[in-house]
Homo-oligomer: A and B are copies of this chain.
Amino acid sequence: MGYVKFSYDQLNRLCVDAFVKFGFSKSDAEIIKDVLLTSDLYGIESHGMQRMVRYHKGIEKGTIKVDAKPEVVFETPVSAVIDGHEAMGQLNGHFAMELAVKKAKENGVGIVSVRNSNHYGIAGYYANMAVKEGLIGFSCTNSEAIMVPTYARKAMLGSNPQAWAAPADPYNFFFDASTTVVTRGKLEMYNKLGKALPDGWALNKDGNPSTDAADVLANISAHIGGGIMPLGGSTEKLGSHKGYGNGMVVELFAAILSMGGTSNKCMVGGKSNICHGFMAINPAFFGDPEAIKKHFSTYLQELREAPKAEGQTRIYTHGEKEMEAIKDREENGIPVIDKTMTEVYDLCQYLGLDFSKYFGDYKPPVEGVKATY
């Protein structure tokens, strides 16, 4: 497995053209592309380009409806419920957060809950939409069950990320994290590398700790049992009930308020059933937004300057790593796993796009990969 780097511009043109070919309007394709490539720019490659196949499969299987449009089914000046009608998660998410932002700008707070959606990419993208308007943003999503509740043997919650973002200098606070110890993508990486999982990540089908990535992943896919531990592990000693509780808060904002499918109902019966939650909060409804931003920036600076642990040289505040990743990728290009490029090549064939138009003379590996697409 190797990496190859491309410019943002190359991937940008490919993504937009591909989603237009799938049948999305130009403006919708731009939104989907922006969510995916923002993830790659942030260094969260598991949720970027490499998801193209998943979306293609979703469209083919009919769990993603290309023509569907999100519909506001309940609304007040500070809240809304949206039926996503199985549209692309990115389009439902973008629509919902725009609505939350509008409400927060006008009325101080906007909370929007979305049902019947699909995978929407990184939760943080939507939280950041609020920050771009000077607001505090929150976004969360449930997903196919993968988190095993404390003392259970069966996954009943998704990886259920919560993302929070707020304005600060020199860069915004940006905290986007699953409520599990790690995400499924991490397990997949260990499996590809043939490495044993670290202790404290996963459970086998009996609900006992396991370091066997291949076994855990197979059990998850087959719904046999086992999965990933909540943040805090599998017992109360290190706080398993806390990660599990934070995952429940996600279900509340995403699936409960919208009357949508909880994670244990996701990817069941030919429907994704994924739900999202969004909130925007206007600092101007609490005082002088510039003073609040400055106050937060001071604290973040104090954190970065705090005494380091022995052998450590740096304390990160949330959002710092993403800003550095963007700088790196703008200067040096976006790294993509070569296997993903084979998938992109096949996708171009399928859609009737000229691969070389985007990637010139680059040739992706062929053998032993096409079959998985």
A interface residues (Cβ-Cβ under 8 A, vs B): 74, 76-79, 81, 107-109, 111, 113, 136, 148-154, 156, 164, 166, 173, 175, 177-179, 181-182, 198, 200-201, 203, 206-208, 225, 231-234, 237-239, 241-246, 248-249, 251-252, 255-259, 262, 264, 281, 283, 285-287, 291-292, 295-296, 299, 302-303, 306-310, 312, 314-318
Contacts and interface: CB of A to CB of B under 8 A. Distances in A.
A166 B238 CA distance: 25
Contacts of A258: 286
A259 to B, nearest CB: 6
Nearest to A255: B299
A39 to B, nearest CB: 18
The complex is assembled from copies of this chain, and their number is: 2
Contacts of A182: 239
A28 B181 CA distance: 43
Nearest to A79: B285
Given A76-B108, A252-B164, A316-B151, A257 B233 contact: no
A245 B74 contact: no
Contact of A79 (B108, B153, B296): B108
A305 to B, nearest CB: 10
Given A107-B78, A208-B310, A252-B136, A164 B245 contact: yes
20 contacts: A77-B107, A79-B109, A79-B285, A81-B287, A148-B309, A150-B315, A151-B314, A152-B315, A156-B302, A177-B245, A200-B237, A206-B310, A244-B318, A246-B246, A256-B292, A257-B292, A258-B286, A259-B291, A259-B295, A264-B302
A233 B178 CA distance: 15
